[in-house]
Amino acid sequence: MSFFKEAKRYFLIGMGGLLACDPQGGGTTATAGETAASTAGETEPSTGEASTDGATDGPTTGSSEASTGAPTTSGGTGEELGCADVRWAYDVAKFHEVGALAVDSRGHVRATVPGGEAFRVLDLDENGVEVGALAVAYAGNSVRWGGIDGEDNVVLQVQENGPQWPRDWVRKYALDGTLLWEVEFASASDGFVIGTPVPGPDGSVLITRSASLHKLDADGSAVWEQPNPDFMQPSVVNAAGVSVGWLVSTKWVRTLGPDGALLWEVEWGQEAFDDRTFAVDGAGGVVVGEQHHALARFASDGTLAWEKSRTELGRPIDAIAMNEAGQLAVLGRPGEGSPEVLRLDPDGAEVGRRACDQLTSQKVAIDAAGRVTVAGYDFISESGQFDWWVVAFAD
């Protein structure tokens, strides 16, 4: 996913007055820096109940379909997509597409599927079997993916659609769909939203506002808050709490320590507004991809370790993903043919590539073992439909 593209869109929206809403229709909320558990008192967050079709009935906070009879169809082989060396292939429900992709600590793939009634986060096990789906009803709201933490909890951001100075909530859900906590912000007092919340492996969450950065602990309590005068947007956080992000409309790449202090920053790239993607490994190594320019890796002190141009890679850089060991997946379409995923080791050497002849891959994730998963679509010319799939490749 291009964090630069996503955050740039919300930056421009926010400048005109961001609109958002509460899917609980009121419910339990918390002020910035406080958890729902500490402020709810008389009202506990409602977890809601899942309907059998995967959407929720009415404005609930969320639910897990694992407790109501999840689908048991196993993943396919991907033969119809022209795939090779595939562990499994999952056919997403028709008329739905995958918005984000991640692999959790269990090796399960989490894929977001926005729909007409609910924002769903699928839980696909090691065999591609759907074993659960967190569903958050829209009810006129905007629901956006944050990611997963080291405990496999899901972080979402929900925004209120309506008033000129709306509210928004950062929420963390457990695997069973339980709302663990929420923190409420308001544009009038906290500034408008930039980008998405970023969960770390330790359970913490980084949140960007138009004028401030916030770090929440694993339980949702405030750790620190600091000014954000140049609109930095953290994109990823590693297990040590090191975050990396970009500065709006500049070429600067910046890393922060667990305490929010600057570790290093460097000006790199060709175009400030060229779509950029970021990754950080467990040692603090940072990889930055600029779609139409190059891919670069920086050491934990900001020193340039290596750089590969688009020409050297043989493709634009549409998405990247990296695990804690520094193994890297780079997704892009060569001059001809379907998009491919290049697998690179921490030194930048190619160790493999994966593709499906009939799949236009747009999302990529990599697990702790270096195995790659993609999400994309197959265009069905007879019906004019885009059929989305999630494909997990073998070692």
**Beta 198-199 vs 179-186: how paired, if at all?**
unpaired
Helices (H), 57-130: none
pLDDT above 90 for 250:
no
- Say which residue the tokens 């544009």 belong to: 187
Q: Indicate if the pLDDT at residue 286 is higher than 90.
A: yes
What distance in Å separates the CA atoms of residue 344 and residue 355, rounded to the nearest whole number? Answer: 15
Alpha-carbon 390 to chain mean position: 15
In this predicted structure, the answer to whether residue 344 has a pLDDT above a threshold of 90 is: yes
Tokens 């507004």, located at residue: 273
Give the pLDDT confidence score for residue 380 in this predicted structure: 82
Give the pLDDT of residue 166.
85
Give the tokens for residue 36: 């729902």
- % of the chain residues with pLDDT over 70: 81
**Whether residue 329 has pLDDT greater than 50:** yes
Cα of 383 vs its chain's centroid, Å: 31
Question: If you average pLDDT over every residue of the chain, what do you get?
Answer: 82
Mean pLDDT value across residues 165-184: 94
Range 208-236 average pLDDT: 95
- With pLDDT > 90 as the criterion, what percentage of the chain qualifies? 64
Do 128 and 89 touch, CB atoms closer than 8 A? Answer: yes
- Which is more confident, 271 or 289? 289
The pLDDT tens digits for 23-56 are 333 322 222 333 333 333 333 333 333 222 333 3
- CB contact at 8 A, 81 and 359: yes
The whole-number pLDDT of residue 224 equals 97
Q: Is the pLDDT of residue 163 over 80?
A: no
Is 17 a residue whose pLDDT tops 60?
no
CB neighbour list of residue 183: distance below 8 Å, 6 or more residues apart: 30, 31, 32, 33, 34, 35, 36, 169, 170, 207, 216, 220
**Mean pLDDT in residue range 140-157:** 94
The confidence score (pLDDT) of residue 395 equals: 82
Whose tokens are 């891919």? That residue is 295
Burial class (CB in 10 A: 0-12, 13-18, 19+), 371: buried
pLDDT-based confidence at residue 74 (cuts at 50, 70, 90): low
pLDDT number for residue 77: 82
Instruction: Give the tens place of pLDDT for each residue, 231-245.
Output: 899 999 999 999 999
When pLDDT is cut at 50, 70 and 90, the band that residue 385 belongs to is confident
CA distance 363 to 361: 6
Query: What pLDDT does 252 receive?
Result: 93
Residue of higher predicted confidence among 15 and 321: 321
Distances (CA, A) of 164 to 29, 140, 159, 191: 20, 15, 12, 12
With 60 as the cut, is the pLDDT of residue 21 above it?
no
* Average pLDDT score over residue span 279-305: 96
What is the pLDDT, as a whole number, of residue 140? 77
pLDDT, position 4? 44
- pLDDT (0 to 100) of residue 62: 53
- Neighbour-count burial of 16, counting CB atoms closer than 10 A to its CB (0-12 exposed, 13-18 middle, 19+ buried): exposed
Looking only at the bridges linking them, the beta strands covering 130-137 and 142-148 are unpaired
Instruction: Please compute the mean of the pLDDT values over residues 364-374 and round it to a whole number.
Output: 97
pTM of the predicted structure, to 2 decimals: 0.82
Structure tokens of 188?
């009038």
Q: What is the distance between the alpha carbons of residues 314 and 332, in angstroms, rounded to a whole number? A: 9
DSSP tag of 193: B
Q: Which two tokens stand for residue 312?
A: 């050297």
Q: How many CB atoms lie within 10 A of CB 22?
A: 24
Q: Is the pLDDT of residue 249 over 60?
A: yes
| pLDDT value at residue 288 | 96
